[in-house]
A = this chain, B = another copy of it.
Amino acid sequence: MSEKAPSVVAFGETMIRFSTKNFERIEQAKELAIGIGGTESNFAIAFARLGGRAAWISKLTNNPLGRFVANKIREHGVDVSHVIWTDKYRVGLYFIEFGKKPRPTQVIYDRKNSAIANIDPNEINWNILKKYDAFHTTGITVALSENCKKAVEIGISKAKEFGTKVSFDVNYRSKLWSPEEAFKALDPILKNVDILLVTKDDARNVLKVSGSYEDMIFTLWERYNPEVVILTLGSEGAMALKDGKIYRAEPYELEVVDRIGAGDAFDAGFVYEYLRTGDVEKALNLGVAMAAYAHTIPGDVMFMTREEIETIMRQRHHDVVR
């Protein structure tokens, strides 16, 4: 990895993920697959696999579940040495049952009273942000607890102080809070964000912007004044706005194996390339390629190589041109 590799610190909760297989319900299961899932660590892992330098900050209970989480993140080369370990609290869990139409995929969270929700914002050595290009977190972390919200705010202010960029995905989760609560908490935070990532649904429902996608993205830009704002459009690709110019990337044709983590893969692709080159178009293209690839990989975690992503990007370009 050259010294030019972009670098990021991600901050948030990672849960143990239990899932059934072959579309079974939990009530039918005799075994559950165990893995990890957490938007910020998903981001950090994908970022590291692209070739970036990534660290993940969190707080974990010192038991086999906590070590499981740290192991599975470190496995990809993400630095977990700044995680705070405790003998108290618990490791959050989530359960997932994959559905087929008309049965929806269902997620059950059991994450209350986790170690990170009880974090003391001052436990974290925020000075490490100095050594990284960006600090990344999401609305989920803000929603976890008042302490987490404070930690996000301190982290952002430290990043500002150190000249580290702030990357933030709104990532609204209805099982954690209402759109109104989310807006109230996030609105002041977003004003300090450099790279603002948001889905069109969250933009409409939480941030209350309306109109065409162009209208929406301009409104966000004007309201929060970030360096760049990215509006992800699901099956319609993604759009970004920087310096008054709109960029757009087309979606890939894809078949879904596991949708979870696709948004995080997008974020990692965008932020990695944006930090590396400053080129919004390239960044958007890497983002949508990462998101498409992520749909084909079981689990939250992005098991891929940069070469594989480059291959699908080349092939698409080729297909379109010829």
Contacts and interface: CB of A to CB of B under 8 A. Distances in A.
Given A74-B75, A296-B23, A254 B102 contact: yes
A38 interface: no
Interface in A278-300: 289, 292-293, 295-299
Interface string A76-119: 11000000000000110101010111110010101011000000
B26 A64 contact: yes
Tell which of A63, A101, A255, A293 has the most Cβ of chain B within 10 Å.
A101
Interface string A166-191: 00000000000000000000000000
Given A30-B34, A71-B75, A90-B110, A102 B22 contact: no
Given A101-B253, A102-B316, A24 B298 contact: yes
A214 interface: no
Classify chain A's interface size: 35 or more
14 contacts: A23-B297, A24-B298, A25-B297, A28-B299, A28-B301, A29-B68, A30-B35, A32-B32, A63-B108, A64-B108, A74-B75, A93-B93, A101-B252, A103-B296
Nearest to A302: B25
A305 to B, nearest CB: 8
Interface of A: 18, 21-35, 63-65, 67-68, 71-72, 74-77, 90-91, 93, 95, 97, 99-103, 106, 108, 110, 112-113, 252-257, 289, 292-293, 295-299, 301, 303-305, 308, 312, 315-316
Contact of A253 (B33, B102, B253, B315): B102
Nearest to A21: B22
A298 B23 contact: yes
Contacts of A298: 22-24, 28
B101 A254 contact: yes
Given A28-B303, A71-B75, A312 B256 contact: no
A207 to B, nearest CB: 23
Contacts of A296: 23, 99-103
A84 to B, nearest CB: 14
Contacts of A77: 74
A26 B65 contact: yes
